[in-house]
């Protein structure tokens, strides 16, 4: 579909076929968190650092639009839940694809938790969103994770199941957990026809984070979709620049940290 192809060009680097996406939808879930109190400023920081795209909820697009500086792809997040809910894993649809088109989105994203009590509702909602995305020529990023009692978030079997569900639903991009092991993750990526991105996970040291990214890229990942691990750094612009050096140019993590 030509509409999807045109929009994806604003999210995926034409030369490397990889992407660095910085989600900034966390305020919906967690409130006024560190790093996202001034949206215009932090979007400028990650943009100048070289990120390919950001993820925002619809209400933050206007406040985050900078009107100057380096351009950056816009992904509008359609799912929401809050940490005040007894089950924060219960994601519901809070924005439509048509709304996202109207505010200038280059893609949309949804969140699905496999193994969560309301898994069936999230999968049903995903099916409806896929139909709307195909109608409007809008690329869809499905963020999908293993969640629930006695389910490991990094189990290769569980992560592989998540990736397959997203692919079968009709995702154009998939975000999921890195298994922590190149060999197991490579099998998952190889079996999928859709670009797979790794999530940021728990915040770790600068070099440790970049090493995990490098390993995932070596295993065939198409990039990273990393939020707090990026925008909560002391120098987000510099750290995002380091991520881009690793993802797009294969720079060694230790050297990437010192590059401008």
Give me the pLDDT at residue 48, please.
96
In three-state form (DSSP H/G/I as H, E/B as E, the rest C), the secondary structure along the chain is: CHHHHHHHCCCCCCCCCCEEEEECCHHHHHCCCCCCCCHHHHHHHHHHCCCCEEEECHHHHHHHCCCCCCCCEEEEECEECCCCCCCCCCCEECCCHHHHHHCCCCEEEEEEEECCCCHHHHHHHHHHHHHHHHHHCCCEEEEEEECCCCCCCCCHHHHHHHHHHHHHHCCCEEEECCCCCHHHHHHHHHCCCCCEEEECCCCCCHHHHHHHHHHHHHCCCCEEECCHHHHCCCCHHHHHHHHHHHHHHCCCHHHHCCCC
What CATH code would you report for 2-256? 3.20.20.70
In the predicted model, is pLDDT for residue 77 greater than 90?
Answer: yes
In the predicted model, is pLDDT for residue 187 greater than 90?
Answer: yes
Question: Rounded to whole angstroms, how far apart are CA atoms 102 and 166?
Answer: 25
Contact 167/174 with Cβ under 8 angstroms?
Answer: yes
Give me the pLDDT at residue 165, please.
98
In the predicted model, is pLDDT for residue 87 greater than 80?
Answer: yes
Region of residue 93 (left: phi > 0; alpha: psi -120 to 50; beta: else): beta
Give me the pLDDT at residue 255, please.
87
For residue 204, give the nearest of 173, 186, 174, 178 by alpha carbon.
Answer: 178
* 97-107 pLDDT, tens digit each: 999 999 999 99
pLDDT band at 69 (very low <50, low <70, confident <90, very high): confident
In the predicted model, is pLDDT for residue 246 greater than 80?
Answer: yes
User: Mean pLDDT throughout 209-231?
Assistant: 96
Residues annotated catalytic, as ranges: 25, 145, 175
User: Mean pLDDT throughout 61-90?
Assistant: 91
Q: Please, what is the average pLDDT of the chain?
A: 95
Domain ranges of the chain: 2-256
Pick the residue with more confidence: 201 or 182?
182
User: Mean pLDDT throughout 196-208?
Assistant: 88
* 111-162 pLDDT, tens digit each: 999 999 999 999 999 999 999 999 999 999 999 999 988 899 999 999 999 9
Pick the residue with more confidence: 1 or 95?
95
Q: What are phi and psi of 67, to 5 degrees?
A: 65, 5
């Amino acid at each position: 579909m030509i509409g999807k192809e045109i929009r994806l060009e604003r999210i995926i680097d034409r030369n490397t076929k990889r992407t660095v996406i910085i989600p900034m939808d966390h305020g919906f879930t967690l409130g006024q968190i560190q790093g996202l109190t001034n949206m215009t400023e932090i979007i400028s920081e990650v943009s100048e650092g070289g990120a390919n795209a950001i993820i925002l909820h619809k209400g933050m697009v206007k406040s985050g639009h900078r009107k100057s500086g380096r351009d950056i792809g816009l992904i509008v997040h359609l799912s929401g839940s809050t940490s005040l809910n007894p089950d924060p894993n219960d994601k519901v649809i809070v924005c439509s694809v048509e709304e996202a088109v109207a505010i200038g989105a280059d893609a949309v994203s949804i969140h699905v938790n496999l193994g969560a009590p309301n898994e069936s509702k999230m999968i049903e909602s995903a099916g409806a969103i896929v139909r709307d995305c195909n109608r409007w020529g809008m690329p869809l990023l499905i963020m999908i994770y293993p969640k629930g009692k006695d389910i490991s978030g990094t189990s290769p079997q569980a992560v592989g199941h998540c990736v397959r569900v997203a692919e079968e639903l009709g995702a154009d991009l998939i975000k999921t957990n890195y298994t922590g092991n190149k060999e197991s993750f490579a099998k998952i990526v190889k079996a999928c026809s859709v670009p797979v991105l790794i999530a940021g996970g728990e915040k770790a040291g600068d070099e440790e984070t970049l090493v995990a990214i490098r390993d995932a890229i070596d295993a065939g990942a198409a990039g990273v979709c990393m939020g707090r691990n990026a925008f909560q750094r002391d120098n987000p612009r510099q750290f995002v620049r380091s991520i881009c050096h690793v993802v797009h140019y294969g720079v060694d993590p230790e050297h990437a940290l010192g590059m401008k």
